[in-house]
Amino acid sequence: MFTRFRRRRLNPILRDLLTETTLSINDFIYPLFVRSGKEVKNEVASMPGVYQMSIDEVVKECGELKSLGIKSIILFGIPDVKDSVGSEALCEHGIIATALREIKAAHPDIFITTDLCFCEYTDHGHCGVLDPVLETVDNDITLKNLGLQAVVHAKAGADMIAPSGMMDGMIIAIREALDEAGFKHIPIMSYSTKFASAYYGPFRDVAESAPSFGDRRSYQMNPANRREAILESLEDEKEGADILMVKPALAYMDIIRDIKEASRLPLAAYNVSGEYSMLKMAAKAGVIDYERVMLETLLGFKRAGADIIITYHAKEAAKLLQS
């Protein structure tokens, strides 16, 4: 037997011609964690190769990213002070607003998305203002604050806003706030289908954003629910989101495909911290060929239906794709 399958796999040039999915440096958004100080670059044990950086280091890093062909970053802030509402995030001189101005001054050609949430800024670590009776996030007060935070980011130079808090109505609230403040042209990439996942563990070490009590299951999604996952993203489309997202990515490839088929909007997959660290630790233990497993994983997200991949692997992948 020798059918068309093996016939088509014999010649490497023909294999290239028949490649259905490709990975490109243009697909990546690289996450960066910014904190106060000078010449601060703290590696975090649970995420080898990922750092908390002061703004001057982030500015340097952006130069390196450009030399690798990476033009797009997403910024997370680690404030010096936290309080019950996360006021630092609403301040024009907060860590993200300051970082935006300095990065844009040095690198106007880097496309900066900002993560929009309050968990890094609240002393309780939840994604908004707490309702004292429900002992979880108050949806509507948080919506108002998300609008204010979005405008702070846009004024400071953000190119795109990415709300990650899973509040009901967040896209409408942020769109209205941006439009009223004169930022009709700033797109919103919604973390539209975000699961309450244990894969965020290492991120919470880097961002110092673990909740001090309880968990996020009253706002993030139940990993068991597929129909609800699709509805969540379609709701954000209706509310005016420009780009949808599935997060995490690796254990949710089916959801990436479902949403790709249910919506015509562009779709991002967030290859989260735990997914990154698993490969790093497996590589350290010598059990996988790290580079090949990484590229295969990223390609899998594309094949599943992702247009954009937010990934801590972006620099390493870019080096391999360049060569």
Binders of ligand PBG among 277-306, rule CB under 6 A? none
Q: List the one residue from 85, 127, 151, 241 that touches ligand PBG (CB under 6 A).
A: 127
Closer CB to ligand PBG, 262 or 283, in the complex: 283
- Is 247 one of the annotated active-site residues of the chain? yes
Q: Which of residues 215-244 bind ligand PBG (CB under 6 A)?
A: none
Smallest gap from residue 316 Cβ to Zn ion (A): 27
Helix axes 290-304, 253-262, angle to 10 degrees: 30
Q: What angle do CA 49, 159, 35 make, to 5 degrees?
A: 40
Sketch the per residue contact string, 83 through 122, with ligand PBG: x for CB under 6 A, - otherwise.
--------------------------------x-x-x---
Please identify the residue of the shown chain whose CB is closest to the bound ligand PBG: 203
Backbone angles phi, psi at 62, to 5 degrees: -65, -35
Residue 37 class from Cβ within 10 Å (0-12 exposed, 13-18 middle, 19+ buried)?
middle
- Rounded to an integer, what distance in angstroms lies between the CA atom of residue 87 and that of residue 84? 8
Rg, C-alpha atoms of the chain: 20
Least distance between Zn ion and beta carbon 117 (Å)? 3
41, 71, 184, 247: which is the annotated catalytic residue?
247
Q: Which is nearer to ligand PBG, 115 or 159 (CB)?
A: 115
Give yes or no for a contact between 248 and 261, defined as CB atoms under 8 angstroms apart. Answer: no
Distance of CA 12 to the CA centre of its chain: 35
Tokens of 90: 């609403």
Q: Of residues 261-280, which lie at the interface with ligand PBG (CB under 6 A)?
A: 272-273
Closest separation in Å from C-beta 3 to ligand PBG: 43
203 binds ligand PBG (CB under 6 A): yes
Q: Which does 170 bind (CB under 5 to 8 A by kind): ligand PBG, Zn ion, none?
A: none
Give the C-alpha distances (Å, rounded to integers) separating 128 from 139, 149, 165, 174.
8, 12, 8, 14
Q: Which residues contact 253 (CB under 8 A, 6 or more apart)?
A: 300, 301, 304
Provide the token pair at 211.
């909740």
* CB of 79 vs ligand PBG, minimal distance in Å: 14
Looking at beta carbons only, is 56 or 218 nearer to ligand PBG?
A: 218
Active site residues per annotation: 194, 247
Q: Which residues bind ligand PBG (CB under 6 A)?
A: 115, 117, 119, 127, 164-165, 200, 203-204, 272-273
